[in-house]
Structure 1
Amino acid sequence: MGKDYWYIFALSATVSVITLSLNTYIVICLFFFWLLYVYVQKKISITLLISALLSFFFFYFYLPAPTTSTSEQVNESRSVFYGEIVSPIIETDKKIEFTFRDERTSEQIVIVYFVNDENELVEHHVGQLQYGAVCKIEASLSIPDGARNPYQFDYRLYLLKKAISYQIVIPTLEDITCKENQSLMQSIYSMRTYLLNKTESKLQTDTAAWLHALVLGHDGLLEQETIELFQRWSLSHILAISGLHIGIVVGIIYLVLVRFSITTKEKAQWIMMVFLPIYAILAGSQPSVWRASLMIVFVIFINKIKLKYNYTDILSIVFLLLIIIEKYIVYHIGFQLSFAVTFGLILSSKWIAEATSNMERVLQISFVSQMMILPLQIHYFSTFQPLSILLNVIVVPYFSLFVIPAMFIILLSIFLPTIVIELFEHIFLFIHQHFLHFIMIVDDKFNFPFIIGEIPISLVIIYYLLFVFLMISLEKRNQIKSFQYGMYVALFIIYLTIRPYFSPIGTVTMLDIGQGDAFVVELPYRKGVFIIDAGASFTFPDFEPSDRVYKQIIRPYLYGRGIHTIDAVFISHNDLDHDGSVRYIIEGFEVKEVIIGPYHDLDEQTKAEWKEANLPITYANFNERIIRNSQAFHVLSPEKDKHDDNENSLVLYTELGGKSWLFTGDIGKATERDIVKKFRNLRVDVLKVGHHGSNTSTDPHFFQEIAPSYALISAGVHNSYGHPTEEVLQTLSDEQVIILRTDLHGAVQYQFKKEQGIFNTFFK
């Protein structure tokens, strides 16, 4: 195939991936029309046209669909598995994880062991776990948990995209026995394990964490706060070994081998061609490492055989080679981001080359990189930090010129006397900790992200068309056109952030947070956003609230809906499963007001935190109508202090989408009877069943009086309380009520327009 056309085949494969992933044919149609157009314009031959079409159909049937699910049934009778470890061992302070290929079925299974601090046998057993080891595992097979809420990370789908359908959670490492299976790959991974252990024992934790991440592709020692800080500012590419790191590796090898006259330039090139694939494995075999390493290997090889080439062809060939060898790699986020950025930089190379200064060039590279991955970033994280372009201009040179070279120097120093290691570490940590402090200050003062939410494929296509026209105008130095398309891109991004304000659709969502309550109410045209309770799980053994529910369920949902401001948070009562995540919501979002019952017992620490945040606290009194953003909430309880948190729950009546709603917190039967005595004409369409379906709530008389059509129950799957109880379910069934339960249906959402609406469940 002639040069300059490989990108068409890469584009064919990309269109196939998009079609399989999104189950839409709009991209296929556009691709076919484009092929026909360039053929009519005589820019490609009929042979190339047919080849491109055949290429599309090949990849369409060759690549796996990401939504292919496995059977819900597992062979529970089977408890012994023989096979081979086929991945690096991921070891953190919380768990050990690796991929295992079962020799009977050839299925890949993810093996997980959650570390028990009291288990003294971990160190003894973990040494036998190596890539390529042949193992016997005695444990039960299970299906990984999937998402239960919109926008929640779907671990099951994540594994399916890696051709893994099942998992085994082993209670103790004594359940697994392995023996070495010598191979080249096993030797390389053993070297990686040796370097990880050696550096961790020789270096301070902070130094080892950065060396592991930037040289060996293992971020297990990095603090979670640091990882999230870099994610917020679109700096995650620095933590993942990529072209930047590989370029520095090549530079160091060339400097040492050639500049110091150890060998000739030609031999140094051969050494790099052999070393780079080995280093890609040492660095964890991440897609971005393979992309950068193979591109350099191709460039060196093509130069040696004196062929003409362009970087677009090389990138396309590497892209095609990787997805043919490992077809599931197309769903790896690192693969997608790496190729998108590199393709954008190659296409804009002429514009970047015309920069008049290094600062201008770095700014252009940062701009192109961020804009190329913007739709992907929004797809995966729902947010965009516009100031990240400027921060990248500072951070990328700092890591390129200081941190990454320092990591390689410190890696080599571990074989030198301790005093030398300590000297290098002291210099590095002194500078690096001050720089990280600078980033934290920027994060504290200037963290104003665009929370955009989900975007349809049609808008993604429009965005890339506008951006391509912008780059063409910049390369042609057409200032008027550049300004016009620049404005179009900016206005388009702004439009993405304000879309909810044009939507006539409102929603009421009962999130599935397990054994707890969390409701999100969104009014049409984004006239108001309200949260009614936001529970949390707790940590062992101190039973303090954990941020797991907030980070894994509540925050992704709010981000996915494009929500950045919450007009009011209603807290029914003081209980972890109803208010445990409120503190995290207040820290992460603009909350205008917290509304609680008159007998809600706030602790002094919470009062101090809310006062420091200048957060208004409103006490909702009995029979009061609270009106916020034209939405009225009628307080039906508590009338008096009942000296019990559950019975003092704030009970709210409101009307949304043509239906009346009653949110009851954890009130019991006595309070339910009191409510219908005080409000004799109370009728309700949708009832949030009290106390997760406990038999202490849902009095039959109360239920008959309010006569709901729908009953919402928030309860954890297989919860230890037995909620909802058979007694409550029987009461609901006797009245022929439609029951919607988070333990069975996942998240439950009511979508409405004006006075009409419909209920949808996450599990259909």
Structure 2
Amino acid sequence: MLDRLKSYHIVSWALLVLLAACLVLAPSIWSAAGLILLLVRLAYLKEPRFFRSTLVLAGLCLAYFAWQAGGSSSLLEAGAFEGALAMDLATLQVDGDQVKFQGDVVLGEGQTERIQAFYRLASEEEQVAFEGLDQALTWQVKGELSQPQPNRNRYLFNYRAYLDRQGIFYLGDLEAMRPLAVQRGWRAFLAEAQVGVRQGLGRLANDQVRAYVLALFFNDSQWIDPDAMASYQTIGMIHLFSLSGFHVNFLLKHCRYVYLRLGGLLDYFDGLALVLLLVYGTLLAWPYGMVRAIGVYLYQVLCRALGRPPSSLEGTSWALIVLVIGQPTAIFSLGFQLSFALAVTLLVLDGGIRRLTPRPLLRELTRSLACSLVSLPFLLVHNHAFSWLSLVVNYFYSLLFSSVLIPVLLLLLVLHALGLANFLLGFQGLLGQALHLLEKISQALSQWQGLTWVTGHLPAWLVFLYGLALVAVLACLQAGQIRRKAGLSLLSLLLVIYLWPNLKVQGQVSALAIGQGDCLLVRLPFNQGNYLIDAGSQPSFFDREPWQVRRKTSTVAGRDILPALRAEGVRHLDGIFISHSDYDHYGSLEEICENLPVDKLYLPIGLAQDEAVLADWQGLTRQGWVWLRTGDRLQLGRQATFDIIQPDQLGQGDNADSLVIWAELYGHSFLFTGDTEGQAEEAMAQRLRGRDLDYLKVAHHGSDHSSPPEVLASLQPRHAVISVGQNNRYGHPSPRVLADLEAVGAQVWRTDEMGGIHYIFSPKSATIERTIQLEEGE
């Protein structure tokens, strides 16, 4: 059968399997359109036998993926939990005072269910014990089970969906762990082997060198500085840390050289290489790039055995088919998407680029441009941003990694296996300094905003049209041609993608879900202005000992606010309004200004006497500060005004000194209240008596100290938004405030229960959307 199949048959089947998986697991009209277009194109080939077999394959795939989609469910329940938990040792991570791993809850009668477990270490001795753990154990544990959270701001990473695709439906917050038994079996053996390799490499003298060896050869990048990894991702070089065909071919090339030098027979090398690759892939738990690379090599060996010309493109197609059928949810992984998309791009275009230009540098730049164009939609869909800097630096970074870094680190790895690497302490030190310099250069490049596109969430139809235009351009390059119409079509769509944030005809006011704090985004239609009202964070109430400090720490700005702004297409802020000097209203200000251009900082005179806070804000914005007081009016756009209701006197930034804004945006009214309370809140209501109010940002997170019944009765808001953290220690929002809001007919929206709340408006209409949708039965 293999001899009768043509290359385009195999590629078409791979595309068919991929589109069928997309249609069933992520249904959309665009995946259906792609599948229909593929079948129509194959029908025009006038190969009835192949087309019939393709239709049968399509039906089988759709049925299989539908069966997979409705497969798993949980036997566990949320709440207190005590029982046996078999730790997956390969997933164990110790970071400061936190232990994180996946494990299988033993349910009895041979049944188990996997959870994601977290355990807080009580002492440094316990930390050392877990770091040195080299046996797969079953533990007696006690703790709480809870469901993972979905994304709390729209278009961002959905942790619940991510775990669901792995068959994990609960998180375990463990209070106590006690070893119960040693696990047996091949899974435990493999996990112990993986951990043994990591612990063996832990004896490398230089931490920086060890981190890069683990990342480049063992697919474990957790030891590289998180800021450095973020910078590699920003400049588009993160793919260099994903095990791929390059790494496999590099290893095979040098293994072949050593094998032949030792007198080995060439006829036996393929068999030995396959055994080596299978062991290597198993030790690494089969990352997607490794599956593709080994699949290609295996297919080439099979082709040579059958006397058929080996084809990397066919091997890649078979690897995709096997991987998607074996693990359908792989299609959601950015690593899977980029690994196969870039590999196919380079394989398809290689001959055409060689015909197009004889100059090696131009060939590399053309390949880099093609890879950038292919990567762009995937990165924009996942990250809402793309750096064209990758087009420039990819050539130099790839050359550095392939010609210097990987060979040198591989040599050190071999020497370490022989027990010799730590005799080269000086060399390791120099290499560590060079790696540190590379990180600093990458971080400096990542700060260059000029070539970064922030587009926000793109509609599926635009991505689909871009994909069609891109295929047309790549087809021209494959033929060694440059066609003006195809190029202009692609350039036009690139222009639309870049301008997309400016083409939105509606404005929005979004209460971002950031926990117990305030952060509201005001966006005017056609990107006329972007403003934040408050930029809160959550203070740490505990001092940590050195052993408790975690390598990977997240902030509200880095985890919630900045990604949410990117997802909304915000490239710069015209201004940030700070209501008063409580940390839950300003704590993220400095980090936002460091990562995003901000024109002005708008401050109420009510915090003018808080000199300690003001000293930290010097020089954060491009155009300095604007002080606001009662009676001021800001004209933000053609139909957008901010009237300052309070404060009317200098203060220390207390709750009563809060900035209160009455906003009129394209015929819709908004009242932003900060944490105002007491007499200040009553004076506010008196000034606004008789006004029609569409949207109230409820004061002080719904605290019982604010929003008295008479104030709410006076304001009569249609919508009341409460920015509040889940299960917060203050008991916000107050049941009394909720009852009073209901009594005046306001529809209440809470960020703790609903995630980000988005009020979408145009001059004649408005809708309000919640990020977390109602669960079935609510």
Normalised-by-shorter TM-score class: over 0.9
1:124 Cα offset (Å): 2.8
Q: Summarize the Cα distance change of 1:76–1:684 in structure 2 as closer, same or farther, 3 Å threshold.
A: closer
Letter matched to residue 621 of structure 1: R
> What's the counterpart of residue 461 of structure 1?
464
What is the aligned counterpart of 2:451 among 444, 448, 458? 448
Match of 1:303 in 2: 304
* CA distance 1:75–1:583, change in 2 (3 Å): closer
1:525 aligns with 2:526: yes
Matches within 5 A, 1:181-580: 181-183=184-186, 186-258=188-260, 260-354=261-355, 355-414=357-416, 415-417=418-420, 420-445=423-448, 448-479=451-482, 481=483, 483-542=484-543, 548-580=555-587
Instruction: Tell me, in whole angstroms, the C-alpha distance in 1 between the residues paired with 2:23 and 2:725.
Output: 36
**1:51-97 superposed Cα distances (whole Å, 9 cap, x missing partner):** 22332332333236879996798164652135563854344445433
Distance in 1 separating the partners of 2:407 and 2:589: 43
Separation in 1, partners of 2:688, 2:584:
28
The superposition leaves residues 669-691 of structure 1 with CA deviations (integer Å, 9 ceiling, x where unpaired) of: 21111123344444423211110
Gaps of 5+ in 2: 774-778
> Residue 173 of structure 2 is aligned with which of 162, 169, 177?
169
Deviation per CA, 1:211-254: give whole Å up to 9, x if none.
11111111111111111001101111112222221121112211
Deviation, 1:496, is: 0.7
Q: Could you tell me how far 1:436 is from its partner in structure 2?
A: 3.3
2:633 corresponds to: 625
Q: In 2, distance between residues paired with 1:707 and 1:643?
A: 31
Relative distance call for 1:56 and 1:615 in structure 2 (3 A) is: farther
Partner of 1:655: 664
The match for 2:607 is: 600
CA 1:143–1:507: 2 relative to 1, 3 Å: same
Q: Which has the higher contact order (CA 8 A, sep 6+)?
A: 2
Task: Tell me the residue number matched to 2:776.
Answer: none
Counterpart-to-counterpart distance in 2, 1:490 and 1:471: 13
Render the CA deviation track for 1:423-476: whole Å, top value 9, x for unaligned: 431342243333333333433446531001222222222112212221222233
1:574-611 deviation digits (Å, cap 9, x = unpaired): 11111111212211112111101013245567646542
Moved more, 221-230 or 580-589: 580-589
CA gap 1:596/1:234 in 2 versus in 1, 3 angstroms: same
Deviation at 1:188, TM superposition (A): 4.2
Paired amino acid for 2:353:
I
2:49 aligns to what?
A: 47
- Whether contact under 8 Å (2:232, 2:442) holds in the other structure is no
In 2, Cα distance between equivalents of 1:447 and 1:171: 48
Change (3 A) 1:639 1:613: closer
CA distance in 2, matches of 1:439, 1:30: 38
Match status 1:730 vs 2:739: yes
Q: Letter of the 1:655 partner, please give it.
A: E
Deviation at 1:376, TM superposition (A): 1.0
Query: Comparing 610-619 with 87-96, which one deviates more in the overlay?
Result: 87-96
Corresponding residue of 2:153: 149
> Retained in 2: the 8 A contact 1:97–1:110?
no
Please name the residue that 1:748 is paired with.
757
1:584 aligns with one of 586, 591, 606: 591
Q: What TM-score does the superposition give when structure 1 sets the normalisation length? A: 0.92
In the alignment, is residue 23 of structure 1 matched against residue 27 of structure 2? yes
d(CA) in 2 for partners of 1:72, 1:712: 36
Question: Do the aligned partners of 1:85 and 1:130 also contact (CA within 8 Å) in 2?
Answer: no
Contact kept? 1:547, 1:581, Cα under 8 Å: no
Cα 1:70–1:673 change in 2 (3 A) is farther
Unpaired runs of 5+ in structure 1? none
Note closer, same or farther for the CA distance 1:199–1:47 as it changes in structure 2 (3 Å cut). same
Match of 2:622 among 607, 614, 626: 614
Please give the secondary structure, in 2, of the residue aligned with 1:229: helix
Q: C-alpha separation between the residues in 1 aligned to 2:99 and 2:645?
A: 51
Cα gap change, 1:197/1:741 in structure 2, threshold over 3 Å: closer, same or farther?
same
Instruction: Give 1:32's match in structure 2, choosing from 26, 36, 60.
Output: 36
Quick one: distance in 2 between partners of 1:182 and 1:33?
Answer: 48
Give yes or no for contact 2:155–2:567 (8 Å, CA) kept in 1.
yes
Give 1:60's match in structure 2, choosing from 62, 72, 94: 62
Query: 1:300-357 CA deviation, whole Å, 9 max, x = no partner?
Result: 2322342234322211111111223333333222112111111111211212344524
State the alpha-carbon separation in 2 of the partners of residues 82 and 228 from structure 1: 34
The range that moved more, 608-617 or 524-533, is 608-617
Residue by residue over 1:25-55, the C-alpha shift from the partner in whole angstroms, topping out at 9 and shown as x without a partner, is: 333234324423432342xx22322322332
Output aligned runs, 1:89-128, within 5 Å: 89-93=92-96, 95-104=98-107, 106=111, 108-116=113-121, 118-125=123-130, 127-128=132-133
Q: Name whichever of 590-599 and 289-298 sits farther off.
A: 289-298
The CA deviation string for residues 262-293 of structure 1, in whole angstroms up to 9 with x for no partner, is 41222222211101121112234211112112
Could you tell me whether the CA contact under 8 Å between 2:629 and 2:644 is conserved in 1?
yes
Corresponding residue for residue 726 of structure 2: 717
Tell me the distance in 2 between the aligned counterparts of 1:501 and 1:643: 39
Q: Is the 8 A contact 1:698 1:728 kept in 2?
A: yes
Give how far 1:209 is off: 0.9
Q: Tell me, in whole angstroms, the C-alpha distance in 2 between the residues paired with 1:119 and 1:358.
A: 55
* More moved, 566-575 vs 695-704: 695-704
2:684 is the alignment partner of 1:670: no
- Could you say if the C-alpha distance between residues 182 and 163 of structure 1 is closer, same or farther in structure 2, counting changes exceeding 3 Å? closer
1:126 Cα shift?
5.5
Answer yes or no: is the 8 Å Cα contact 2:16–2:38 preserved in 1: no
Q: How far apart are the structure 1 equivalents of 2:73 and 2:506?
A: 35
* 8 Å Cα contact 1:91-1:220 kept in structure 2: no
Residues 372-403 of structure 1, C-alpha deviations (whole Å, 9 max, x = no match):
22211111111111121111010011011111
> What SS does the aligned partner of 1:321 have?
helix
Find 1:160's aligned residue among 140, 154, 164. 164
CA contact (8 A) 1:277 1:290 kept: no
Aligned length: 755
Instruction: Spell out, residue by residue over 1:618-666, the C-alpha distance to the aligned partner (whole angstroms, 9 max, x if none).
Output: 0012111112233210000011235551111100001235321110000
Change (3 A) 1:94 1:515: same
Question: RMSD across aligned C-alpha pairs, in angstroms?
Answer: 2.7
Distance verdict in 2 for CA 1:509–1:107, change over 3 Å: farther
Q: Contact between 1:109 and 1:168, CA under 8 Å: does it hold in 2?
A: no
Q: Deviations over 1:518-540 (max 9, x none)?
A: 11111111111111111112235
Tell me if 1:6 matches 2:13.
no
For 1:728 and 1:120, locate their aligned partners in 2 and report how far apart those are by CA, in whole Å: 48
Deviations 1:693-714 (A, max 9, x none): 1111012222222222221111
Query: How much identity, in percent, do the aligned residues show?
Result: 22
What CA distance in whole angstroms lies between the structure 2 residues aligned with 1:644 and 1:443?
A: 36
Q: Letter of the 1:36 partner, please give it.
A: V
